[in-house]
A and B are shown apart, each in its own frame.
Chain A
């Protein structure tokens, strides 16, 4: 079992550009959540996808959007990048009917905005 896989592992973007991050959940998991982790901070919840719909959203602007595909994989899109968007972006998946304590995290995508 490959666990939660994220791609790419690192990328550098210029302010104002757009970026798409990808996540494949752990086998058997159907729910995907995205978190932003600034350096030295705990992860902050962005949103969660279930049955291809956004189920809940944290305090992030509309520049942050997502999508879930029928195979449960997910994308996080960020438009009009700001320097402050530089962070580690984490994807977590959880099983059907699972509670958040059963969430498994990927290794993250390190985004640097210059």
Chain B
């Protein structure tokens, strides 16, 4: 069945470094991909999304890259800050489908 997974369960970086969080997906029919940030005790917070007709999309300090050939998604966070420490999830969905399919998450730890 379809699945969304992550390569690294935990990523530790120093403040000011750039962070890259990776995600692999298996459903070639997916046409929307989303990154969420979840802090302890809170619900997932939308970070950025990308449609399958795009390769790259930039937000404030974040960039999402999509490689449909290898079914790979990444989130780049520039100048990582301690406040970026959280669990990051990628999720996929597709037109006409009502649910989001989440991966298991990557924990980002940022040291001052």
Contact = CB atoms under 8 A, between A and B. Distances in A.
Contacts of A40: 104-105
A15 to B, nearest CB: 25
Contacts, number: 63
B98 A41 contact: no
B98 A48 contact: yes
B43 A45 contact: no
Interface residues of A, number: 24
Contact of B46 (A48, A56, A90, A104): A104
Nearest to B89: A42
A107 B42 contact: yes
Contact of A100 (B41, B42, B43, B99): B99
Interface of A: 4, 33, 35, 40-45, 48, 55-56, 58, 90, 92, 99-101, 103-108
